[in-house]
Structure 1
C-alpha cells in the first residue's frame, strides 16, 4: 500500500509502503435433499450455494463439487433416508464448506405380481371375473392341499394369501382343499405406498372321491351273515329266531366323505342305525353307499329271515263306548255278549295283537292292529262282531266273538206331518198324542198326508192302513168332517202315539147338472118357464116310458126326479101317460139350501097320431154350461 503527496513545512515527510492482505470468502455448498420412489432411478443430485460475492455464481467456481449418495435404484424404503455428499469443489477466492443432503426413498404404487405359482404345479386357466386376475383350476381327489408362491414386482409390496401375510417369493402354508367343493384362494397385493391393491383369485375344485366301499358292516344283535351270490356289490343272508323283532346295522365307510343309506334312511358312517323291524319271513336290508363323487354307488344287501311266530292272541279288545262284555261259553277262542241302549247306534272295536306280525280280520275285513273299526248296530237285533287273529305262521288262528244286542227304540214321534195342499192345521186339546183341526173349501175333495218318523224303524198307519214313512197317502174328503188318524208304533212294538187331524170340508153351493139325458134320445127344447131350466118334448104313442139320467156337477149334491131320490148319473124310468107328462129333476147342493129345478114337459101322442119317424140331433140351447153334453135322439115314432 503506497502513501504519497503529503506536505508540511515543518516536517520532512518520508514514506514507507504498507501491504493489504485479501482473505478467502466463505462459501457453503449444501447438497439438496431428494426423494424418489422405490425402484426408480436415483434422481440428479444438485447443490445449493451460499456465500458468493461480487455477483459470482456456481458457474464461476473453479472446480465444481461432486455430489454422490450410497442409494441406488434398488435401495429400500426401510434404509431411507440416504446421505447425499458434496465434495471436491475448489476456488482460490473461497473457503468452501459442505452440508450433506438426504435422499428419501418412498413406497411404490406397484401392486402387480411377477409370478403366481401353485405347488403341486397345477395348470390354472385365466377366466373373466371381477378381480384383477381370475383363474380356475382342477385337481384330482388325491390332492388334499396345495401351496401358493406369489412374487411381487415390487419386493416391498405386501402380499396376503387368504388374509395371511406371506413374503414375496416364499411359498404359503398348505391350503386344504375339500372334496368335491370349489375352494377359492385369494392373493391380495397391496403396493408399498398403500395406494394400490390388486386381487388374484384362483377357484380350485378338488374332484370328489369314487370310493363307495365299506370298511365294515356289523349287525346288532351280533348275527352271523353269510356271503351269497347276488346282483349287488355284496350280498349276504342271515337267519334269526321269531323273538328277534328288529336289528341295527352299523355301516362304516372307507372314505369318510361317502354317504350311507340303510333302507333309504340316511345314517352316519360308523353309527348304528335305528332299529330295522323284522317281519316273519324274509326281510331285505340294503345298505347303499354313495361315493363323494355322487356317481359311484355300491349296494350291500342282507336278506334276514325271521322265523314265523305262532302267537294269535290279542293284547287288548276294546269297545267304544266302554260297554261291559260278559264272557260266555261258545265255540270260539273267546265268546262274549253285551247289551246297549237304543241310543247306541254303533260301536268302535279296537283289537291289538300281542304279536305285531299277526294279522287281523274284523267281520271278514282285514284290519291293521290297533286301528278302530266302526260297527253299526241295528235296533232290536243281535249284532255279531268276530275278530279273527292269524299268527305270523299263517296257520294258528284264534277267534274272539262278541254278540251285541241293541235295544229297540221307544221313539214313536213324527219329525213332520204334512198336508198337501198346504192346509193350516191348528193344534187343539184332545185325547190323542197330538190333535189338530183344519178347514178346507168345498173344492178340496181330497188331501195328501205325509208322515215322517223320527226313528226310521218306527211303523206308521194312516186310518189303519200301513204306510211307509215319508210316503204321501191320498185321503178323500167328504163334505163335512173327515178324521185322519196317523198312528206311529215305535220299534219296541209297545210305544204308540196317535196324531189326529179333523178336517172340515165346507158344504158346496153347486146345484147344477153336468148332464140331463133322456133315453130314448128325445129332443127337448128349452123354453121359458118358472124353473131354473124348462124344456118341452114330444114322443109317439108307442113310447110309454122314458129313462132319465141326471148327473150333478158336484158329486156331493143330491138329486130327486119327480120326488124320487136318485143317485147322480144313475138312470130312473119314468112312465108316460097319454097327453102331457111333467118330469121335474130337483138338484140340492151339499149346503142343503141351494136348489135348482130342471123341468121337462113331455107330450105323448094319441093312438092315431103316428107320422113318419125322423132322427133329430138336438143341441141344448142357451145357458147349457151346467149341462156339459146333452144329445137327444128322437124316435121316428115321436110326433
Structure 2
C-alpha cells in the first residue's frame, strides 16, 4: 500500500505566527525560504487537521536548512510530534533534543486525526524563534478489508472477494474436529481475530461442534474503530457415533466417550453365559448392530459368550459413515466337575462306581458294599486345568483333573468327602460334598 503525504494542504493552525509566514505555508508542499511557518514566541506549536483519522506510517520535519539556510544554525533544536483524535488529549509520537538535521525523517506507526508539532527550543541562532519549512505526514485511510481468506476444509463459496462478507465452506465428516482458517489483511497494520482470538502467523485453528458452525473473522484497523466482519459457515456432519454404551457385566474401562472406540470390562464367571449390551445414539437415522445382529438404540441386546476371550462388536451406520466400537470381555473357565470315578476295595474285592454330576447339584450320595474298607477318588473336571482338594477324616490331598487320589479309609458306615474345585486366575471355587454309605 503506497502511502502519500496526507498533511498536504490540510487545515493548519498555530499558537502564533509572523506574517506572512502562516502555518498553511508549512503544509503546501513547497520547499523554499519564503514557504514556511515562523513564530517568534517559544514554546510554540503548529496543528494540522488531517480531516479524518489516518494510519500514520512516516513523518518528515523539514527545517530551514532544507531550503538553503545555513546548516545547522537555522534548524530547530528541541521539539516533539504529537497526535490526537479530539484536538484535546495528546499523545507524544516522538521527541527530539538537540537536533542538527535539516530534514528529520522517521518511520512511525499510529492512528490520529490531528498532528501537532510542539517546539520547546527553537532555532539554534535564536531559540525564541520557531520555524519549519514543511511538515509532511505519510499514511493512508484505515482499511479493515481482507485481501485473502481460506479454510483448510476446501474452497469457499462464493469465491473470495474483499467486499463479500459471508461464505460457506464444504461439509466436513464427523472425524474432522477442527479446521484451519487462513486470512490476510489488506493493511498489514490491521488486527485479525478469529472467533474472538487474535490470529498469529496468518492462521488460526478452529474446533468444530457437530452441526453448523459459524466462524467469525473480524478485521480491525489500527485506529481501533474501523472494522469489518467476515463469516464462514461450515457444517460438521453428525457421523455415526454412540452417545452411550453399557454392558450388564460391569463397568466399561475406560469410561465411555463417543470418541473412544475400544473398551474392556471385568471378567465374568463361567455361569454368565450371556450378557446384554445397550448401545445408545442421539443421531436420527443411525442403525446399530451388535455382533452382526440388529439392535435398537437404548435397548439391551443379548450376546452369548464363549469361555475365554470374547470381542463384542457394535457397528453404528449413518449413510456413508460407519463407526465400530468394541468391548473385550473374558468369560472365566468352568469350575464344575463332570463326574467322579470311585474304586472301592476291601476283603479281597474291588468295585468301581461313577457319580455323574450336573451344574445344579453340589451334594451327592453313593452306596458301597458294607465290606468296603477304602476308596480312591478320580474327579474329572469340565475344564482339564482345574485342581481338586479332597478332604475326608480330617486329611486333605490335592489332585489334578483325571488323577486318582490316594486311598481314603471308610471307617464309618457313612463317610463324608469334600471336593473343592479351583483354578489359578479363576474367581472363587466350587464346593462339592460326596456322602458314601455302606450298605
TM-score for the superposition, normalised by structure 2: 0.43
**Which one has the largest radius of gyration?**
1
Q: State the TM-score, normalized to the length of structure 1.
A: 0.31
